[in-house]
Amino acid sequence: MRARLAAAVATLALAGCAGRRLPAPAEAVPSPPAIAARLGPGDVFEVRVYQEPELSGIYQVGPQGDVTFPLCQRVPLTGLMPNEVADRLRECLAKGFLRDPQVTVLVREYNSKKVFVFGEVQKPGTFSFEDGMSIVQAVTVAGGFTRSAAQNSTSVTRKVNGQEVKVKVNVQDIALGRAPNFVLQPGDIVFVPESLF
C-alpha cells in the first residue's frame, strides 16, 4: 500500500504547467545515451586501433565537423555516435591500409553540448555537458545552492518531440538518497527558484 501511495505522489509531483499532467521522467525524457553520444564541433574523443599505437590517440572534432585522421585525411563526423565514428574510421583503414582493423572510439568531452543552470545557485551560467551528467552534478558545477534555494522545487526544461517540457525535480531528496537521480541531456535548462520561507 505504501509503495502504491509513494508512486501516486511521485506521479502527481510531475504535474506541469498549463494544468496538464506530464509523464513520469522516464517517459518525458528520451533515453540520454542516444542523444548525448552524437558528436559535434569541439568534442574530444579517443581512438584506439588494435595493435596500431601510431593511429591511436586523442582527437578533436574541428569547426567544420570533421577530423584529420592519419591515412584517412579529413573525415566528417558531425551527428555521428561513437560506434558510427569507429565504423567510418574502420572502413577507411580497411581500404588498402590495414587488414581487418579493430577500432574503438570513446568520447572524452562534449564541448559542443551545453546545459544551463540558473536561479539560486552560486555561479549560474552555461556549462559543458558530460555523458551521463546528473542534475546533482550540474548544480555542483554551478557552485552549489545558495542559502535561499528551494532545492526540492528545482525544475528541468527540455525539448521533447519539438515541445518544451518542464519537470519538477526534488534535488534535495536525490542528494539524501530518497529519490533516484535525474540524468540530464544536452540543452536542458535547470532552474532553482528562491524559497518563500
Q: How many CB atoms lie within 10 A of CB 51?
A: 9
How far is Cα 140 from Cα 71, in angstroms, rounded to an integer? 42
Reported pTM: 0.58
pLDDT digits (tens, 9 = 90+) for 91-115: 999 988 888 999 999 988 888 888 9
Name the band, by pLDDT with cuts 50, 70 and 90, for residue 197.
low
Give the pLDDT confidence score for residue 128 in this predicted structure.
86
Which region, left, alpha or beta, applies to residue 139 given φ > 0 means left and ψ of -120 to 50 means alpha?
A: alpha
Sign of the Cα pseudo-torsion (129, 135, 140, 143, in order): positive
Please check whether residue 148 is in contact with residue 192, taking contact to mean a CB–CB distance below 8 angstroms.
no
Give the pLDDT confidence score for residue 171 in this predicted structure.
92
Give the pLDDT confidence score for residue 9 in this predicted structure.
32
Block residue for cell numbers 522545487: 153
Q: Is residue 10 predicted with pLDDT exceeding 60?
A: no
Which region, left, alpha or beta, applies to residue 92 given φ > 0 means left and ψ of -120 to 50 means alpha?
A: alpha
